[in-house]
Structure 1
Protein backbone atom coordinates (compact mmCIF):
# COMPACT_ATOMS: atom_id res chain seq x y z
CA UNK A 1 0.00 0.00 0.00
CA UNK A 2 2.87 2.38 0.80
CA UNK A 3 4.52 1.68 -2.56
CA UNK A 4 1.23 2.32 -4.34
CA UNK A 5 0.88 5.62 -2.46
CA UNK A 6 4.44 6.59 -3.39
CA UNK A 7 3.75 5.88 -7.05
CA UNK A 8 0.51 7.88 -6.87
CA UNK A 9 2.28 10.86 -5.27
CA UNK A 10 4.99 10.70 -7.95
CA UNK A 11 2.33 10.74 -10.67
CA UNK A 12 0.52 13.69 -9.06
CA UNK A 13 3.80 15.61 -8.77
CA UNK A 14 4.60 15.05 -12.46
CA UNK A 15 1.08 16.06 -13.49
CA UNK A 16 1.50 19.28 -11.52
CA UNK A 17 4.70 19.98 -13.49
CA UNK A 18 3.10 19.17 -16.86
CA UNK A 19 3.47 22.73 -18.24
CA UNK A 20 6.95 23.28 -16.75
CA UNK A 21 10.21 23.58 -18.68
CA UNK A 22 13.68 23.56 -17.11
CA UNK A 23 16.34 25.48 -19.06
CA UNK A 24 20.03 24.93 -18.36
CA UNK A 25 22.91 27.17 -19.43
CA UNK A 26 21.25 30.60 -19.75
CA UNK A 27 23.80 33.26 -18.67
CA UNK A 28 23.04 34.86 -15.33
CA UNK A 29 23.34 38.64 -14.99
CA UNK A 30 24.68 40.43 -11.93
CA UNK A 31 21.57 42.51 -11.23
CA UNK A 32 17.87 41.80 -11.45
CA UNK A 33 16.70 40.08 -14.63
CA UNK A 34 13.35 39.68 -16.32
CA UNK A 35 13.03 35.89 -16.53
CA UNK A 36 9.93 36.02 -18.74
CA UNK A 37 11.59 38.34 -21.26
CA UNK A 38 14.71 36.14 -21.44
CA UNK A 39 12.70 32.95 -21.95
CA UNK A 40 10.38 34.58 -24.49
CA UNK A 41 13.44 35.52 -26.56
CA UNK A 42 14.81 31.98 -26.25
CA UNK A 43 11.54 30.27 -27.21
CA UNK A 44 11.02 32.54 -30.24
CA UNK A 45 14.57 31.75 -31.35
CA UNK A 46 13.80 28.07 -30.93
CA UNK A 47 10.46 28.07 -32.75
CA UNK A 48 11.70 30.33 -35.57
CA UNK A 49 8.19 31.54 -36.34
CA UNK A 50 7.71 34.24 -38.99
CA UNK A 51 5.33 36.17 -36.73
CA UNK A 52 6.32 35.53 -33.10
CA UNK A 53 3.31 34.68 -30.98
CA UNK A 54 2.81 35.89 -27.46
CA UNK A 55 3.91 33.33 -24.89
CA UNK A 56 2.02 33.50 -21.61
CA UNK A 57 3.71 32.42 -18.40
CA UNK A 58 2.20 31.37 -15.12
CA UNK A 59 5.60 32.02 -13.54
CA UNK A 60 9.32 32.01 -14.39
CA UNK A 61 12.35 32.12 -12.10
CA UNK A 62 15.84 30.81 -11.43
CA UNK A 63 16.35 27.58 -9.51
CA UNK A 64 16.18 28.19 -5.77
CA UNK A 65 19.75 27.31 -4.91
CA UNK A 66 22.53 29.68 -3.81
CA UNK A 67 24.32 31.40 -6.64
CA UNK A 68 27.78 29.90 -7.29
CA UNK A 69 30.41 30.81 -9.88
CA UNK A 70 31.88 27.29 -9.71
CA UNK A 71 28.60 25.56 -10.60
CA UNK A 72 27.73 27.93 -13.44
CA UNK A 73 24.42 29.73 -14.00
CA UNK A 74 21.40 28.43 -12.13
CA UNK A 75 18.71 26.66 -14.13
CA UNK A 76 15.68 28.64 -15.18
CA UNK A 77 12.26 27.08 -14.55
CA UNK A 78 9.03 28.31 -16.08
CA UNK A 79 5.41 27.25 -16.09
CA UNK A 80 3.60 28.08 -19.33
CA UNK A 81 -0.07 28.93 -19.45
CA UNK A 82 -0.69 26.70 -22.49
CA UNK A 83 0.34 23.05 -22.68
CA UNK A 84 0.23 23.00 -26.55
CA UNK A 85 2.77 25.85 -26.54
CA UNK A 86 4.97 23.96 -24.12
CA UNK A 87 4.65 20.82 -26.24
CA UNK A 88 5.63 22.69 -29.41
CA UNK A 89 8.72 24.12 -27.71
CA UNK A 90 9.85 20.73 -26.37
CA UNK A 91 9.27 19.01 -29.73
CA UNK A 92 11.54 21.57 -31.36
CA UNK A 93 14.08 21.29 -28.55
CA UNK A 94 14.35 17.52 -29.15
CA UNK A 95 15.89 18.16 -32.60
CA UNK A 96 19.31 18.73 -31.01
CA UNK A 97 20.83 18.43 -27.52
CA UNK A 98 21.87 22.10 -27.18
CA UNK A 99 20.89 25.42 -28.73
CA UNK A 100 22.99 28.59 -29.09
CA UNK A 101 21.66 31.52 -27.08
CA UNK A 102 23.45 34.70 -26.04
CA UNK A 103 26.85 33.21 -26.75
CA UNK A 104 26.24 30.00 -24.77
CA UNK A 105 24.75 26.57 -25.39
CA UNK A 106 21.49 25.93 -23.55
CA UNK A 107 19.49 22.73 -23.04
CA UNK A 108 15.78 22.29 -22.38
CA UNK A 109 14.25 19.55 -20.24
CA UNK A 110 10.88 18.55 -18.88
CA UNK A 111 10.65 19.47 -15.21
CA UNK A 112 10.16 16.15 -13.43
CA UNK A 113 9.55 14.94 -9.89
CA UNK A 114 12.70 14.21 -7.81
CA UNK A 115 11.42 10.63 -7.38
CA UNK A 116 11.26 10.19 -11.16
CA UNK A 117 14.72 11.69 -11.64
CA UNK A 118 16.14 9.33 -9.01
CA UNK A 119 14.65 6.34 -10.84
CA UNK A 120 15.98 7.53 -14.22
CA UNK A 121 19.48 7.93 -12.81
CA UNK A 122 19.33 4.43 -11.35
CA UNK A 123 18.22 2.98 -14.71
CA UNK A 124 21.10 4.42 -16.74
CA UNK A 125 22.79 0.98 -17.03
CA UNK A 126 19.54 -0.39 -18.54
CA UNK A 127 18.98 2.48 -20.98
CA UNK A 128 22.66 2.39 -21.99
CA UNK A 129 22.35 -1.32 -22.80
CA UNK A 130 19.21 -0.64 -24.86
CA UNK A 131 20.93 2.11 -26.86
CA UNK A 132 24.02 -0.06 -27.44
CA UNK A 133 21.75 -2.74 -28.96
CA UNK A 134 19.73 -0.17 -30.95
CA UNK A 135 16.55 -1.09 -29.07
CA UNK A 136 14.15 1.89 -29.05
CA UNK A 137 12.40 2.63 -25.79
CA UNK A 138 10.20 5.26 -24.22
CA UNK A 139 9.23 6.29 -20.72
CA UNK A 140 5.72 6.00 -19.37
CA UNK A 141 3.75 7.86 -16.73
CA UNK A 142 3.22 6.72 -14.03
CA UNK A 143 6.88 5.73 -14.09
CA UNK A 144 7.66 2.92 -16.52
CA UNK A 145 10.20 1.90 -19.14
CA UNK A 146 8.61 0.46 -22.29
CA UNK A 147 9.96 -1.12 -25.47
CA UNK A 148 8.68 -3.41 -28.20
CA UNK A 149 10.37 -6.69 -29.00
CA UNK A 150 9.49 -9.77 -31.01
CA UNK A 151 7.58 -10.96 -27.94
CA UNK A 152 5.45 -7.80 -28.00
CA UNK A 153 5.39 -4.96 -25.49
CA UNK A 154 7.95 -5.30 -22.68
CA UNK A 155 7.25 -3.17 -19.61
CA UNK A 156 9.17 -2.49 -16.41
CA UNK A 157 7.90 -0.39 -13.47
CA UNK A 158 9.63 -1.69 -10.31
CA UNK A 159 13.26 -2.59 -9.41
CA UNK A 160 12.42 -6.27 -8.97
CA UNK A 161 11.26 -6.44 -12.61
CA UNK A 162 14.64 -5.48 -14.10
CA UNK A 163 15.99 -9.04 -14.42
CA UNK A 164 12.83 -10.24 -16.16
CA UNK A 165 12.86 -7.14 -18.39
CA UNK A 166 16.44 -7.79 -19.56
CA UNK A 167 15.84 -11.52 -20.07
CA UNK A 168 12.80 -10.92 -22.28
CA UNK A 169 14.92 -8.65 -24.47
CA UNK A 170 17.76 -11.20 -24.63
CA UNK A 171 20.20 -8.88 -22.82
CA UNK A 172 22.70 -9.58 -20.07
CA UNK A 173 21.56 -8.61 -16.55
CA UNK A 174 22.94 -5.32 -15.20
CA UNK A 175 23.46 -4.04 -11.68
CA UNK A 176 20.91 -1.36 -10.81
CA UNK A 177 20.49 0.57 -7.57
CA UNK A 178 17.13 0.09 -5.90
CA UNK A 179 15.79 3.63 -6.30
CA UNK A 180 12.82 2.96 -4.02
CA UNK A 181 14.54 1.52 -0.96
CA UNK A 182 17.72 3.60 -1.31
CA UNK A 183 16.40 7.14 -0.80
CA UNK A 184 13.84 5.97 1.76
CA UNK A 185 16.28 4.15 4.04
CA UNK A 186 17.13 5.43 7.55
CA UNK A 187 19.75 8.20 7.72
CA UNK A 188 23.32 7.07 8.48
CA UNK A 189 24.78 7.34 11.95
CA UNK A 190 23.39 6.59 15.42
CA UNK A 191 19.91 7.79 16.15
CA UNK A 192 19.40 10.00 19.17
CA UNK A 193 16.69 8.87 21.52
CA UNK A 194 14.57 11.70 22.85
CA UNK A 195 13.09 11.12 26.30
CA UNK A 196 9.62 12.49 26.62
CA UNK A 197 8.70 14.25 29.84
CA UNK A 198 5.33 13.40 31.24
CA UNK A 199 2.97 16.34 31.55
CA UNK A 200 2.76 17.64 35.10
CA UNK A 201 6.11 16.10 36.11
CA UNK A 202 8.75 18.89 36.15
CA UNK A 203 11.43 16.56 37.49
CA UNK A 204 11.37 14.48 34.34
CA UNK A 205 10.32 11.29 36.13
CA UNK A 206 7.43 9.43 34.60
CA UNK A 207 4.29 10.13 36.55
CA UNK A 208 1.67 7.52 37.13
CA UNK A 209 -1.49 8.08 35.17
CA UNK A 210 -4.85 6.41 35.22
CA UNK A 211 -5.62 4.30 32.17
CA UNK A 212 -8.72 5.38 30.34
CA UNK A 213 -11.16 2.53 29.71
CA UNK A 214 -10.82 3.16 25.93
CA UNK A 215 -7.01 2.81 25.99
CA UNK A 216 -5.57 -0.45 24.62
CA UNK A 217 -4.19 -2.91 27.13
CA UNK A 218 -0.50 -2.29 27.82
Structure 2
Protein backbone atom coordinates (compact mmCIF):
# COMPACT_ATOMS: atom_id res chain seq x y z
CA UNK A 1 0.00 0.00 0.00
CA UNK A 2 2.81 2.38 0.94
CA UNK A 3 4.70 1.53 -2.28
CA UNK A 4 1.59 2.19 -4.36
CA UNK A 5 1.11 5.54 -2.65
CA UNK A 6 4.75 6.51 -3.33
CA UNK A 7 4.42 5.59 -7.01
CA UNK A 8 1.21 7.59 -7.32
CA UNK A 9 2.86 10.59 -5.64
CA UNK A 10 5.88 10.38 -7.97
CA UNK A 11 3.62 10.16 -11.02
CA UNK A 12 1.65 13.16 -9.78
CA UNK A 13 4.86 15.19 -9.38
CA UNK A 14 6.00 14.18 -12.86
CA UNK A 15 2.65 15.15 -14.35
CA UNK A 16 2.73 18.50 -12.56
CA UNK A 17 6.28 19.16 -13.78
CA UNK A 18 5.37 18.18 -17.35
CA UNK A 19 2.27 20.38 -17.23
CA UNK A 20 4.32 23.33 -15.94
CA UNK A 21 6.84 22.86 -18.76
CA UNK A 22 4.04 22.68 -21.31
CA UNK A 23 2.39 25.83 -19.95
CA UNK A 24 5.68 27.73 -20.06
CA UNK A 25 6.27 26.62 -23.64
CA UNK A 26 2.75 27.68 -24.64
CA UNK A 27 3.24 31.06 -22.94
CA UNK A 28 6.47 31.61 -24.90
CA UNK A 29 4.74 30.72 -28.16
CA UNK A 30 1.83 33.07 -27.45
CA UNK A 31 4.23 35.88 -26.57
CA UNK A 32 6.21 35.24 -29.75
CA UNK A 33 3.01 35.37 -31.84
CA UNK A 34 2.00 38.63 -30.15
CA UNK A 35 5.34 40.26 -30.90
CA UNK A 36 5.33 39.02 -34.50
CA UNK A 37 1.89 40.59 -34.93
CA UNK A 38 3.47 43.89 -33.83
CA UNK A 39 6.46 43.72 -36.17
CA UNK A 40 5.15 46.59 -38.33
CA UNK A 41 4.38 48.75 -35.29
CA UNK A 42 6.31 51.60 -33.72
CA UNK A 43 5.77 53.37 -30.43
CA UNK A 44 6.26 57.15 -30.34
CA UNK A 45 6.94 58.66 -26.92
CA UNK A 46 6.78 62.37 -26.09
CA UNK A 47 4.38 63.69 -28.75
CA UNK A 48 2.32 66.48 -27.09
CA UNK A 49 -1.37 65.80 -26.61
CA UNK A 50 -3.80 67.21 -29.22
CA UNK A 51 -0.97 67.72 -31.72
CA UNK A 52 -2.70 65.33 -34.13
CA UNK A 53 -5.88 67.47 -34.15
CA UNK A 54 -8.21 64.48 -34.35
CA UNK A 55 -6.52 62.53 -37.18
CA UNK A 56 -3.45 60.72 -35.90
CA UNK A 57 -2.70 58.76 -39.09
CA UNK A 58 -2.78 61.81 -41.36
CA UNK A 59 -0.71 63.85 -38.92
CA UNK A 60 1.98 61.17 -38.54
CA UNK A 61 2.30 60.53 -42.27
CA UNK A 62 3.00 64.23 -42.92
CA UNK A 63 5.09 64.79 -39.80
CA UNK A 64 7.36 61.78 -40.40
CA UNK A 65 8.19 62.93 -43.93
CA UNK A 66 8.80 66.52 -42.82
CA UNK A 67 10.86 65.57 -39.76
CA UNK A 68 12.92 62.66 -41.07
CA UNK A 69 13.25 63.82 -44.67
CA UNK A 70 11.54 62.64 -47.84
CA UNK A 71 14.86 61.37 -49.22
CA UNK A 72 14.70 58.48 -46.73
CA UNK A 73 11.49 57.12 -48.25
CA UNK A 74 11.03 55.93 -51.86
CA UNK A 75 7.29 56.40 -51.34
CA UNK A 76 5.43 58.27 -48.58
CA UNK A 77 4.86 55.81 -45.70
CA UNK A 78 1.29 54.67 -45.17
CA UNK A 79 0.04 54.22 -41.61
CA UNK A 80 -2.91 51.86 -41.28
CA UNK A 81 -3.78 52.64 -37.67
CA UNK A 82 -2.50 54.89 -34.91
CA UNK A 83 -3.77 55.71 -31.44
CA UNK A 84 -2.75 56.96 -28.04
CA UNK A 85 -2.08 54.38 -25.33
CA UNK A 86 -4.42 54.71 -22.37
CA UNK A 87 -7.80 56.30 -21.81
CA UNK A 88 -8.77 59.49 -23.63
CA UNK A 89 -8.45 62.89 -22.00
CA UNK A 90 -12.00 64.21 -21.95
CA UNK A 91 -13.10 67.77 -21.46
CA UNK A 92 -9.64 69.35 -21.57
CA UNK A 93 -8.68 71.85 -24.23
CA UNK A 94 -5.15 72.14 -25.65
CA UNK A 95 -2.98 74.29 -23.40
CA UNK A 96 -4.84 73.42 -20.20
CA UNK A 97 -2.95 72.13 -17.17
CA UNK A 98 -4.15 68.58 -17.82
CA UNK A 99 -3.01 68.67 -21.45
CA UNK A 100 0.50 69.77 -20.48
CA UNK A 101 1.03 66.69 -18.29
CA UNK A 102 3.20 63.86 -19.58
CA UNK A 103 1.70 62.94 -22.97
CA UNK A 104 0.47 59.44 -23.66
CA UNK A 105 2.53 57.29 -26.01
CA UNK A 106 1.37 56.71 -29.58
CA UNK A 107 1.29 53.29 -31.26
CA UNK A 108 1.30 53.29 -35.06
CA UNK A 109 1.01 50.39 -37.52
CA UNK A 110 2.66 50.78 -40.93
CA UNK A 111 1.21 49.20 -44.03
CA UNK A 112 4.71 48.07 -45.05
CA UNK A 113 7.28 46.66 -42.63
CA UNK A 114 10.05 48.27 -44.71
CA UNK A 115 8.69 51.75 -43.89
CA UNK A 116 8.88 50.96 -40.18
CA UNK A 117 12.56 50.02 -40.62
CA UNK A 118 13.24 53.20 -42.61
CA UNK A 119 11.69 55.34 -39.86
CA UNK A 120 13.87 53.72 -37.18
CA UNK A 121 17.02 54.13 -39.28
CA UNK A 122 16.25 57.75 -40.20
CA UNK A 123 15.45 58.64 -36.58
CA UNK A 124 18.75 57.16 -35.37
CA UNK A 125 20.62 59.07 -38.06
CA UNK A 126 18.91 62.36 -37.19
CA UNK A 127 19.54 62.10 -33.45
CA UNK A 128 17.46 64.23 -31.10
CA UNK A 129 13.97 65.08 -32.36
CA UNK A 130 11.78 67.74 -30.76
CA UNK A 131 8.13 68.76 -31.13
CA UNK A 132 7.19 72.00 -29.37
CA UNK A 133 10.33 71.70 -27.21
CA UNK A 134 9.34 68.15 -26.21
CA UNK A 135 11.83 65.41 -27.03
CA UNK A 136 10.17 62.57 -28.94
CA UNK A 137 11.58 59.08 -29.45
CA UNK A 138 10.70 56.02 -31.53
CA UNK A 139 10.72 52.54 -29.99
CA UNK A 140 9.72 49.06 -31.15
CA UNK A 141 6.24 48.08 -29.98
CA UNK A 142 6.87 45.00 -27.85
CA UNK A 143 4.83 42.93 -25.41
CA UNK A 144 5.18 43.65 -21.70
CA UNK A 145 6.74 40.22 -21.12
CA UNK A 146 9.42 40.77 -23.75
CA UNK A 147 10.14 44.26 -22.41
CA UNK A 148 10.77 42.74 -18.97
CA UNK A 149 13.14 40.17 -20.45
CA UNK A 150 15.08 42.90 -22.25
CA UNK A 151 15.14 45.19 -19.22
CA UNK A 152 17.17 42.57 -17.34
CA UNK A 153 20.22 43.69 -19.35
CA UNK A 154 19.83 47.41 -18.48
CA UNK A 155 22.50 47.42 -15.71
CA UNK A 156 25.02 45.74 -18.03
CA UNK A 157 24.26 48.15 -20.88
CA UNK A 158 24.57 51.11 -18.51
CA UNK A 159 27.99 49.96 -17.34
CA UNK A 160 29.14 49.31 -20.91
CA UNK A 161 28.12 52.88 -21.77
CA UNK A 162 30.32 54.19 -18.94
CA UNK A 163 33.50 52.75 -20.50
CA UNK A 164 35.37 54.32 -23.39
CA UNK A 165 36.47 51.30 -25.39
CA UNK A 166 37.44 51.69 -29.02
CA UNK A 167 35.31 49.50 -31.26
CA UNK A 168 32.74 48.71 -28.54
CA UNK A 169 29.18 48.28 -29.80
CA UNK A 170 26.22 46.72 -28.04
CA UNK A 171 22.47 46.33 -28.37
CA UNK A 172 19.52 43.98 -28.00
CA UNK A 173 18.61 41.64 -30.85
CA UNK A 174 15.29 39.87 -31.16
CA UNK A 175 13.85 38.58 -29.03
CA UNK A 176 15.94 39.29 -25.91
CA UNK A 177 19.61 38.64 -26.59
CA UNK A 178 22.39 41.07 -25.69
CA UNK A 179 24.89 41.48 -28.52
CA UNK A 180 28.30 42.97 -27.66
CA UNK A 181 30.99 43.60 -30.26
CA UNK A 182 34.51 44.32 -29.00
CA UNK A 183 37.49 44.68 -31.32
CA UNK A 184 35.62 43.01 -34.14
CA UNK A 185 34.52 39.99 -32.10
CA UNK A 186 30.81 39.37 -31.48
CA UNK A 187 29.50 38.03 -28.17
CA UNK A 188 25.86 37.12 -27.47
CA UNK A 189 24.18 36.58 -24.10
CA UNK A 190 20.74 35.22 -23.27
CA UNK A 191 21.14 35.60 -19.50
CA UNK A 192 22.14 38.47 -17.25
CA UNK A 193 24.65 36.30 -15.37
CA UNK A 194 26.50 35.44 -18.57
CA UNK A 195 26.67 39.10 -19.58
CA UNK A 196 27.92 40.12 -16.13
CA UNK A 197 30.66 37.47 -16.22
CA UNK A 198 31.79 38.73 -19.62
CA UNK A 199 31.71 42.34 -18.38
CA UNK A 200 33.88 41.46 -15.39
CA UNK A 201 36.41 39.78 -17.68
CA UNK A 202 36.34 42.80 -19.99
CA UNK A 203 37.04 45.14 -17.07
CA UNK A 204 39.97 42.95 -15.98
CA UNK A 205 41.32 43.00 -19.53
CA UNK A 206 40.97 46.78 -19.66
CA UNK A 207 42.88 47.14 -16.38
CA UNK A 208 45.64 44.90 -17.76
CA UNK A 209 45.79 46.95 -20.95
CA UNK A 210 46.07 50.19 -18.96
CA UNK A 211 48.86 48.71 -16.81
CA UNK A 212 50.75 47.55 -19.91
CA UNK A 213 50.30 50.99 -21.46
CA UNK A 214 51.77 52.57 -18.32
CA UNK A 215 54.76 50.19 -18.44
CA UNK A 216 55.35 50.91 -22.13
CA UNK A 217 55.00 54.64 -21.57
CA UNK A 218 57.40 54.56 -18.60
CA UNK A 219 59.98 52.59 -20.58
CA UNK A 220 59.71 54.96 -23.51
CA UNK A 221 60.00 57.98 -21.21
CA UNK A 222 63.06 56.50 -19.48
CA UNK A 223 64.68 55.69 -22.83
CA UNK A 224 64.17 59.26 -24.06
CA UNK A 225 65.49 60.64 -20.77
CA UNK A 226 68.67 58.51 -20.96
CA UNK A 227 69.14 59.54 -24.58
CA UNK A 228 69.01 63.21 -23.53
CA UNK A 229 71.54 62.58 -20.74
CA UNK A 230 74.00 60.82 -23.04
CA UNK A 231 73.57 63.49 -25.70
CA UNK A 232 74.18 66.24 -23.14
CA UNK A 233 77.26 64.37 -21.84
CA UNK A 234 78.70 64.11 -25.34
CA UNK A 235 78.29 67.85 -25.81
CA UNK A 236 80.18 68.54 -22.55
CA UNK A 237 82.96 66.10 -23.49
CA UNK A 238 83.37 67.75 -26.87
Q: Classify the TM-score, shorter chain.
A: 0.5 to 0.7
Aligned pair partner of 2:120 in 87, 90, 94? 90
- Distance 1:158-1:5 versus aligned 2 partners, 3 A rule: farther
Q: Corresponding residue for 1:130?
A: 160
When normalised by structure 1's length, the TM-score is 0.65
Alignment of 1:112-123 (within 5 A): 112-123=142-153
- Distance 1:94-1:102 versus aligned 2 partners, 3 A rule: same
Residues 120-139 of structure 1, C-alpha deviation per residue, up to 9 Å, x if partnerless?
A: 33322100111122431121
Aligned pair partner of 1:23 in 44, 69, 72? 44
TM-superposed deviation, 1:29: 2.2
1:157 aligns with 2:190: yes
1:77 aligns with 2:107: yes
TM-superposed deviation, 1:91: 0.5
TM-superposed deviation, 1:69: 4.4
Q: Corresponding residue for 2:130?
A: 100
Aligned pair partner of 2:175 in 142, 161, 183? 142
What is the CA RMSD across the aligned residues, in angstroms?
Answer: 3.2
Which residues of structure 1 form unaligned runs of 5+? 173-218
Aligned residues: 172
Which residues of structure 2 form unaligned runs of 5+? 1-20, 90-97, 206-238
Aligned pair partner of 1:63 in 58, 64, 85? 85
Contact 1:14 1:112 in 2 (8 A): yes
Distance in 1 (alpha carbons) for counterparts of 2:83 and 2:151: 25
Q: Corresponding residue for 2:208?
A: none
Question: Which moved further from structure 2: 137-146 or 110-119?
Answer: 110-119
TM-superposed deviation, 1:112: 1.6
- Distance 1:150-1:21 versus aligned 2 partners, 3 A rule: closer
Question: Which moved further from structure 2: 3-12 or 130-139?
Answer: 3-12
TM-superposed deviation, 1:95: 2.3
Q: Corresponding residue for 2:224?
A: none
